[in-house]
Structures are given as structure tokens and as C-alpha cells.
Structure 1
């Protein structure tokens, strides 16, 4: 495979064409690399990747921070831990790179919880112009003075020196995602009238000065640059972007990493975000890399939504790019490259671009994890590593959803004899319903992976088998795991027993026809995704939500696309609204201290689910070990179910 062949960046050979790009993980402490971060990156280096580009090293901490807990490289005190980081990466044959950055105006994010600018520790951010970042909760920045610009150029130079002293073999300059360098490059953010603004030549000046300063430190060490392949209206055109890349090569850059987007909640239609959430086409920005590649001769790398090895190989064979940046898939499965090399592609844990544990956790200032990888960020935690069972146990898992399947796989891999009972005719549980709304069919990859792994481990599966106390007792298990899912909540609303009232899960499961007008009570993820599904079919939909906003349980990267679709289908979203009474022809609601009647053919209840724990107590009478995982224990997400299942699988 071309994907696995070496390539040169400058004078440095990379063992294959897979690059782990910079991704914030929130594992640092006060700017320092931590043991958690060392373990995380070492696992990916051990997994066979060609080069790892460590997340943004901030050249001016904290005013240049891109997140609440970034890596800092603005002081020599950080060098020892950075040295440990480059060492663990190189130890396994991967090349160690670090991207250095200043977040500019994007640093000025106000916390939803306390109204403080926690990212910058209260400092007002800086930018080329007094133009705020177009995200909710961002403050207007200060415009940089000439002497301040010169000072930042020097900070990039000093950061480069520290990177080399720490043993990094490649240094990256972050000019993408509308951080400070990208802000200077783009007329969308740069409104200056001096030598740093106006013409493309002037807008390039800041970045070229930084490169010139970095090159004084970079003796025989390649410099790579990450840049946006597209910008929104008012930004650089595709021709200007191609010219920027050409000028970067002339300035001494040895490779270009192509990205896009300015964050997860840019409300601009048809603009591809850096997060490329679920439903985004595979290879969604390869054409942007091609545009850049036509004007330069140095290697180009691209990713954003490349996860399938066959697709990656074809992109390389067609010469549309030279290298593949593999981000979130390496969070999900650190051994992605090794598995491809061994011909075990079906063994790869799939990234489904759900943006829950990665982008979603970053937005909450939490350390990242992954819906499909409970060990992400816990690679050094011995309690999270599977060890052979002391003795084989007969384990019965009741329920073939994500929590039950993860439990079964983990327990079986440790040497237990595992049987799954599933009342439906196929495995999947909640995933079967979650994959039905528009753009969510990628979730089927979760089912495919689990089914394949269950087969590989020779776990016995009995479909169409509903468990009860007598059957379980006759089976004589040593351990029972309840993974039977939650029970849909029916709220106390007058008239809810009407025959025109249905539960959301039943509507999805049975593909029900509900008439021309539908009211959905509950505006969480299930409710709004069902609203889109019905709207797509031409149904007039109203969503009634008691909270101030809908889809509060969704990652903003995924939510933004959904909200566009709800707008397209004229879905009416009523927040801060209570359903008072259901009648045969509609719903009486209360909002803004006034009542309103909404006509409807059908009313759908989507207010969540409750735990089902009654069987657990009964089983403890005759089974020594009884566990509950997923929604039957505590209603939540697929992420919670998988993580619960993994921990129980380690415990049995």
C-alpha cells in the first residue's frame, strides 16, 4: 500500500504517510505536559503512525491559549516535560513534531458557567483588528500595535528554539482555524490599513516574518504549516489560498497540512467545519488539498474526514494528496496503522464522527475521551488495562446494545465464557434507533464492529430470547450483566392516554405514519432528530421543550447542521414551553404566561428514559455477581453505555 510507504519532508524520512495532526486533549496542567499526555501519545506512536504532531504549543501563555488547558512553550521551564514527550514518540519509530500557535481573538471565550474568560485567565485577547470572533460568548479583542507584533514574532522564534531543545524533529506553524496567523492572512478578520493589512502581500507579512525568525533556529529541521483550504465569503478566495501556499513554500516551508473551519459553531451554510461531524462525506476537503497541491511541489497532507483505509489509499494513488492526517480515528483506535498493515481492517474500532467525547468534551473544558474507546486518556491507568481472569466464569449478558456488547467483548477477551441474550432479532440496541435519523447511518459501523468482534471471540449469541428469572436461574451463570436499556418516560400530562399519542422510540422503530401535523413533546436529541426526520418527509412539526433551548445534550458540531435542517423544514421550536393537556386534535401549551392550542394529528413523547433495575435485586438472590450497565442503570448516551460495559467487563 502506498499509505504505508515512506516519504520525505525536507531531509527527514517519515516511515509511512499517516500523520496524527494536532488535536487539543485537555490533559495538561498549567501548561505542562503530564504523564497522562505522555501515555496518550506513546500509545499512538506504538500504534504505527508515521508522524505525530503534538497539539498547539502556545507561544504566549495564557493570552494566546486556544483552550483552557493547552500545552505551553513560552518559557524554558516547560522544556523538560516536552523532552519526555518527544522521547516517548520517537522511541516507537514515529517522528515527533509540535505545532506552535497563538490563538489571537479565538482565545477570548467566555465560560457559560461563570461568565469569566477562563481560557486567557481574564486577559483581553489580541488580534490584527478590533473584530470579534463570530462565536457566541467571544469578546471583542484588542488590536495589536506594531511593537506588539514584533514581540509576538520573537515569541514564535523562542518557541521554536525550545521545541528543538526538547528534541522535536519537525516544527509546525498553525495558520489555520482563524487563530492569530490565520487572522492576519484573511481579509475576513484583518481590517488593518498599515503594512500588515490590505493587500495579500501585506496580509502575508506577519506569517512570513514569523517563518523568517523560525528559520534562524531551524537548522536542518523541517518546518510545516497548517492552513485553511477554504474561507467563508469575505475571506481568501481559492486562488488566493493557492498563492498563500506557494509563498509559504518559497519562504522555506517543507510541507503543507490542509484543514478548514474556524470552530464547531460557525453558522454558515455549506461551510465545512474543522470538526467534520457525522454525516459529512468521506474526504470532504480533499478537493481543497488538490487546489493547493497544484501550485506547490512540497508534500501536502489532508484529513478532516478520512477514516477508511481503502479511501485513504485511493486518494494517495490518485495523487490528490501526499499524506493523510488521521485525527479522531487515532483517538478511537491508536493501533489503526498497525491493523491496516496486518490486514486486520475489520478489527479497527470505528470513529463515527459523533463529536461526543472529543469535540464535545473540549467545548466543556473536559479531558477528551471517545465513544468507542474507554481507554482514551487512561492509557497509563493500570486499572483500565485488561488482565487475564483468575478463573473462567460463565457470564450471561442480557441485552445486545452497546453496553452489553462492550461488556461481553471485554469479559470474553479476558478468558470468560460469555453468552448474550437479546430479545430482538438483531444486535444493536439503542444504536438501531440512533442510526435512523438523517446523517446518522454511520452509527451502523458501531454495530458492524461489535458483531464482527463478538464473532471473532466466539461469544454465543441467542437472538429473540427475552430473559426472565426462571430462565436465568436454569442457565446457572456465575455472573449476570443487565444491559436491557431504559424505559421510555411517560410524563404526567392530562390526556396523555389518547390513542394519538406515541413514544418517540416506537415511532422510529416502526417507521410510523403520523399524519400531516405532529407535535413532539421533548426537545432533546431524540426529539429534534425525529423532528428533522419527519420534516424531511413533509410533515409539519412543532417541538415543545420546557428548557430554554433545544438539543442541549448534543455536541455543537453536530447540532449546527441539524438546526439548519429544522429551519429548512419550517420546524417550529417552542422553548420555555409546557404541554398542559393533550386532546384528540392537538396539544394545549403554556408559554410566556399564555396558553395556546396547537392542532396536531399525532403527539410524540420524547422526554427521555428511566432506569430499569427491578430484575437486578431479584437476581442477587441466586447469582453471585450481578451488574447493570447503560440505560438500564442510568439513562445516558452510547458513550456512557460503552464505558460502563468496559469497566464491568474488567471487573467480572
Structure 2
């Protein structure tokens, strides 16, 4: 067996895990408005259990009925037990242990359900005229009892382990941290007093479960970006007290939703892999407790080394198992090259969770996420020859899906390599994993025996020669041209040519366009030119980035000294400057080079679609060939089309 350290068993009290991998609590929006377990949530967990995971934790599960928001799981009443039992049965049938994360959400419940009670240690100002009062002693007593009652229900529902959530700005963490806790009674002031509520909750939990049932606790290693926040020394001391109260294992996380530190909760590609492991190692050493390492652990070799080195006893592998539910099985069986890798884009998981328009989380790499039952492989009874035009990620995804279903795809790519704009995206700072994913995607397609023809621009003559039953056009997009005087001067280039290494710029550089690509080009050039200014027409830059990636990119711009000008339109490019219109006035910005990054436009494929129409060949258009969008949308579209053929 490969990676024998991370895939070795571990026993915690009476529970023995077959390996040391934990699928963690992550928000899904798959619970019903009634807070009940759904078939969708069961299928989601079962897929990861069948995929070889050791211990599945539910997402946050409300323990206190008054503070239990809609669309989140709840365990605050006996009526929830049957549904939770169906979930544990499915996880067990898949071969994993089942855990429930016991949660009291504090001010976080406002985001999902403003009718829920907010349990917070001190007065919490929501708006100038709206202040939520700190919890009364009566509420504190009820909440402590609620944790114990929830633990009893968890036992009845068949869970093997519990996790007490004491991090991420939720109620317990807010009591523990001086940044939020301003109380002057026995629940505030000293660290010992601030820990009192949490320790009473832990004792309440422990009093309602069997002696051999393990209790995990999620904690922040320390408080990032909070004045008067917890230090790692505070956390270590608290964990020692928690050990005495009955906690067995520490799930060492980071982050809070009251500051830019929210980026650590669902860390994007901008943060290094395993960025929090050393904190877990120190806490393990100084508390003597079993410890779980968390934070961008998405490679089996990385996970194995963490266990081998003794830095942690278990690892959380979360989004990597969203991207590929077979992550553990593939790793154990030595099929690492077949793993569909998480690229830390956050487009489907965090951004999808945060968007009210998105019904449940998804994944750029795995459109089947949340649709596991629907996406059972449906082999075709009528194999077809399908021409896929374009070898970017949409074309590759479509070709592989077709091959898996028993069709005969022929993929033609005009250039000499596969991956398309994903390869370009991987040239930007901190995004090497996207380039690696695109290369891996091409390699997997080849191992699936997809017929691939590089350096083969598709023309009507090529379609005639191949004579396909159906055609999928995935020709992607190309940079939009700036239509102003001087746009064709020799010192003007575009973002694609910069990232591809086809163009060089020097001196003072102006980047026209402050969306994702423009900002990444600015970062890419930083340090190699004298000065960079980004000009954006809209009122803010990075408008097309998700929240957490935006935090990281904006921090980088600040540290690199990259200037941004918003509400500004380029009206002319001169030999040594550009002219912008801002606030109704014309201004000149001196520069030596100009990079245009104003977006992309679909490539013209009318000759191909017209030929298909003339010859009655069914023709499907997917990805950026429809219109330039996020890779998440393009890949999902590719799968949907390939499943319909």
C-alpha cells in the first residue's frame, strides 16, 4: 500500500479509524429548510466514505434550537435523530467512521437566518441602531445544556465521534477570545474565566456520551488580524484545560469571519500548501494531545510526510476530496497520477456557498459534487464518433466524459499543447497548481486513450475528413482588442502574450483592465519593471474575484506597491503615456509599456457551425466559445453536453 503512514489505522478511545484522513465539516447548503438531512447530503458523504476516507464529519450541526438557522443541519431536537441515523448508516456502509460537528454559530447565524438567536459573549453591533446584547446567564446555562443534549442525540443517531467547534468566531471562540469577550462576570476577564463557558460545554458533552466515544475539538491556533486576539500560548493553555475536561483530539485550524483572516478558513491557492501544519505540531508537542493538521493539504505525499514526521496524528483532506471523492483509494492504490486535483480556486466551494444564487456547493474540477446520484456513469448503447474542437479544459473534460461513456471522441487542438487558458492562468503568481492541473488533465485523457490530434486547426475540410456523428465546439476565447487611437503602437501588448512569455515590457508599465487577469499580469510583472499602474473603468478592481482570492490578491498588490486607478477610461495611447478620462477630466499617465487586459471574446467558429448545419451534423458549443466565463461554468457545461450525447 502506498503512503503507509497516513493510511495506517489509529485508535482513539473506542473508535478505530482505518486510516488517518478526515473529511471535515464544510458548508454545503444541502440541508433542507427544515434543517433535516437530505438524500443529496447522504449521497455526498457516502461517495467520500466509499472513496476510502477514514472519518467523515458533518458540516456544522446546530445544538441550540433558538440559535439554529435554516438550511443548516440541526441536532437540537429529537426529531432530527432519524435523519442523522440515515446519514451515519450510509457513511458506515461506505466503510468510514461518522462524526458530527456540534455547533453554536454566534453572529454567523445572521448570514443565513436573521430570525435565529445570536449567542455572543458581549454586545454585538450589527448596525448603528441595532445592537445584539451579550448572552444572559440564563442563555449561557441553556446553551451548555444544549451541547449535552445534542451529544446524547448523536449517540442515538449512531455517530462514532463528536467535534466541539471552538474556533472561527463562533460562540465558543467568541467567549474564549478577548477580542470579542468584554464581559466582567465569571465568564469574562482572565483566560481562565473566558474559557469557563467552553469547558462547561465540554463537560456537558462528555457527561452524555459513553466513556469510549472520542471527542474532537476544532480550535484556532491563534487569532489573526484581531486586536487583543488569542495567542498560540493562550490556545495551548486552553487545550490543556480542555484535555482535563474530556477532549481527546485537537483539530487545529485558523481564521475568523470578522477580518481578512477569513482567508484561512477556506484557504485559496494564494496560501501555501500546509501553511498551518507547524502550528499543529507545536500545539501537539506542548499539550501532548492527538492533533489533526489542517490547511491546504491536498497531496498524498504531503499528508504522509506530516504523519511520518510526527507533526500531527491525523490530517484533514477536505476540498481535495470534493474535487475527487476517490482521492484516498487512488492514493492507497498508487494511482496518484489519476487524482483530480483541487486547485484552490474556491469558485465552487466557498464562492458557491456564499452566493444566494447558487443552490449548493460545487467544484470546478468535479461537476458531480452534490449531484452524485444523478452522475452515476451512464454507458451509451449507441457509440458515436464525436469531434471535439479545442483542447482547453472544456474540450478535454467533454472528451473524457464521452470516452468514459463508451463514445469515440476525437479531440483536435490547433496549438502544440493541451490545457488552453488554464495553462496561462497557471503562469500567474501563486497559481502553479492550475498549470499542473491542466497538464494532468491532458495526461489523464491520453491514459483513457482519447484520440488527440495536436497542431490540427479544424476547418470544414477537416470535419468532412473525420466525418463525425456529432461535433462539440470548444474553441475558447481570445483577448479583446482596445479600440482607441494608438492601440496598435509597438509598445502595446496584451495579457495573454505576457503570461505566455511571448511579449516583454520594460520601464513604467500601465495595465489597462483591473479584473482578475489584469491584476495577475500586474503581479506577474512586479519586480521586473520600474513601476506598475492598473487602470480600471469600474468603481473597484478585482470585481470578478471571489471574496477570499480577492483578499489575497489585494494584499499582494499593496505589498508590491502596485497602484490602481478606478472609474477611469483609457481614451488614447501615446508613445510615452496613456490618456485617461476620470471624473470628467482628461489626464496623462506616463509609461513606457502598455498591457491590455480588458477581457476575452469568443473565437469565431461560424464556418464550422455553418458546415455542421448544412450537413445536418448535431453541433454543440461549450465553454468560452459560448462566451468568456469562469472555468467552473465551462467544465460543468462540458460534462452536461457530453452526458446528453
TM-score range, shorter chain: over 0.9
Q: Which residue of 1 aligns with 2:365?
A: 372
Q: Secondary structure at the residue paired with 1:294?
A: helix
How many angstroms apart in 1 are the aligned matches of 2:65 and 2:523?
Answer: 43
- Residues 1:81 and 2:83 are matched in the alignment: yes
Q: Secondary structure at the residue paired with 2:61?
A: strand
Indicate conservation of the 8 Å contact 1:400/1:429, yes or no: yes
Q: Which residue of 2 aligns with 1:225?
A: 217
How many angstroms apart in 1 are the aligned matches of 2:593 and 2:130?
Answer: 44
Task: Give unpaired runs (5+ residues) of structure 1.
Answer: 110-118
How far has the Cα of 1:596 moved from its partner? 1.8
- Residues 1:597 and 2:605 are matched in the alignment: no
Q: Which residue of 2 aligns with 1:70?
A: 72
- Residues 1:639 and 2:642 are matched in the alignment: no
Q: Which moved more, 1:547-556 or 1:486-495?
A: 486-495
TM-score in terms of structure 2 length: 0.94
Cα-to-partner distance string for 1:323-378 (whole Å, 9 max, x where unaligned): 11111011111111111222211111101111111111122143110110010010
How far has the Cα of 1:88 moved from its partner? 0.9
Cα-to-partner distance string for 1:58-87 (whole Å, 9 max, x where unaligned): 12357454xx73212223332222221111
Q: Which residue of 1 aligns with 2:533?
A: 542
Does the C-alpha gap of structure 1 residues 420 and 541 become closer, same or farther in structure 2, counting only changes over 3 Å? Answer: same
TM-score in terms of structure 1 length: 0.93
How many angstroms apart in 2 are the aligned matches of 1:293 and 1:494?
Answer: 63
Q: Secondary structure at the residue paired with 2:553?
A: helix
Q: Which moved more, 1:170-179 or 1:609-618?
A: 609-618
Q: Which moved more, 1:488-497 or 1:503-512?
A: 488-497
Q: Which residue of 2 aligns with 1:249?
A: 243
How many angstroms apart in 1 are the aligned matches of 2:538 and 2:298?
Answer: 37
- Residues 1:43 and 2:42 are matched in the alignment: no
How many angstroms apart in 2 are the aligned matches of 1:127 and 1:303?
Answer: 26
Indicate conservation of the 8 Å contact 1:25/1:368, yes or no: yes
Q: Which residue of 2 aligns with 1:91?
A: 93
Indicate conservation of the 8 Å contact 2:505/2:529, yes or no: no
Instruction: State how 1:373-392 maps to structure 2 within 5 Å.
Output: 373-381=366-374, 384-392=375-383
Does the C-alpha gap of structure 1 residues 123 and 298 become closer, same or farther in structure 2, counting only changes over 3 Å? Answer: closer
Q: Which moved more, 1:157-166 or 1:450-459?
A: 157-166
- Residues 1:20 and 2:23 are matched in the alignment: yes
Aligned-pair Cα RMSD in Å: 2.2
Q: Which residue of 2 aligns with 1:267?
A: 260
Indicate conservation of the 8 Å contact 1:105/1:132, yes or no: no
Q: Which residue of 2 aligns with 1:619?
A: 612
Q: Secondary structure at the residue paired with 2:509?
A: strand
Kindly tell me the number of residue pairs found equivalent between the two proteins.
Answer: 634
Q: Which residue of 2 aligns with 1:116?
A: none
Q: Which residue of 1 aligns with 2:270?
A: 279
Indicate conservation of the 8 Å contact 2:424/2:435, yes or no: no
How far has the Cα of 1:132 moved from its partner? 5.6
Q: Secondary structure at the residue paired with 1:400?
A: coil
How far has the Cα of 1:11 moved from its partner? 1.4
Q: Secondary structure at the residue paired with 2:236?
A: helix
Q: Work out which of the residue numbers 294, 299, 309 in structure 1 matches 2:290.
A: 299
Cα-to-partner distance string for 1:223-257 (whole Å, 9 max, x where unaligned): 21111112236322222211111111111112111
How many angstroms apart in 2 are the aligned matches of 1:512 and 1:174?
Answer: 51
How many angstroms apart in 2 are the aligned matches of 1:496 and 1:544?
Answer: 15
How far has the Cα of 1:53 moved from its partner? 0.6
Cα-to-partner distance string for 1:601-644 (whole Å, 9 max, x where unaligned): 23222221223342323323226222222101121111122112
Q: Which residue of 1 aligns with 2:9?
A: 6
Q: Which residue of 1 aligns with 2:137?
A: 146
Cα-to-partner distance string for 1:18-54 (whole Å, 9 max, x where unaligned): 1111101111121222221111111111111111010
Q: Which moved more, 1:576-585 or 1:437-446?
A: 576-585
- Residues 1:332 and 2:323 are matched in the alignment: yes
Indicate conservation of the 8 Å contact 1:279/1:442, yes or no: no
Does the C-alpha gap of structure 1 residues 314 and 393 become closer, same or farther in structure 2, counting only changes over 3 Å? Answer: same
Indicate conservation of the 8 Å contact 1:418/1:460, yes or no: yes
Q: Work out which of the residue numbers 35, 39, 60 in structure 1 matches 2:64.
A: 60
Q: Secondary structure at the residue paired with 2:287?
A: coil
- Residues 1:529 and 2:520 are matched in the alignment: yes
Q: Which residue of 2 aligns with 1:121?
A: 114
How many angstroms apart in 1 are the aligned matches of 2:534 and 2:428?
Answer: 16
Indicate conservation of the 8 Å contact 2:511/2:532, yes or no: yes
Q: Which residue of 2 aligns with 1:397?
A: 388
Indicate conservation of the 8 Å contact 1:535/1:566, yes or no: no
Task: Give unpaired runs (5+ residues) of structure 2.
Answer: none
Does the C-alpha gap of structure 1 residues 107 and 576 become closer, same or farther in structure 2, counting only changes over 3 Å? Answer: farther
Q: Which residue of 2 aligns with 1:507?
A: 498
- Residues 1:440 and 2:442 are matched in the alignment: no
How many angstroms apart in 2 are the aligned matches of 1:64 and 1:454?
Answer: 46
How many angstroms apart in 1 are the aligned matches of 2:628 and 2:376?
Answer: 26
Does the C-alpha gap of structure 1 residues 93 and 193 become closer, same or farther in structure 2, counting only changes over 3 Å? Answer: same
Q: Which residue of 1 aligns with 2:180?
A: 189
How many angstroms apart in 1 are the aligned matches of 2:233 and 2:263?
Answer: 18
How many angstroms apart in 1 are the aligned matches of 2:240 and 2:13?
Answer: 16
How far has the Cα of 1:527 moved from its partner? 0.9
Indicate conservation of the 8 Å contact 2:493/2:503, yes or no: no
How many angstroms apart in 1 are the aligned matches of 2:414 and 2:65?
Answer: 55
How many angstroms apart in 2 are the aligned matches of 1:590 and 1:497?
Answer: 20
- Residues 1:237 and 2:258 are matched in the alignment: no
How many angstroms apart in 2 are the aligned matches of 1:632 and 1:298?
Answer: 54
Q: Which residue of 2 aligns with 1:648?
A: 641
Q: Which residue of 2 aligns with 1:488?
A: 479
Indicate conservation of the 8 Å contact 1:277/1:557, yes or no: yes
Q: Secondary structure at the residue paired with 1:536?
A: coil
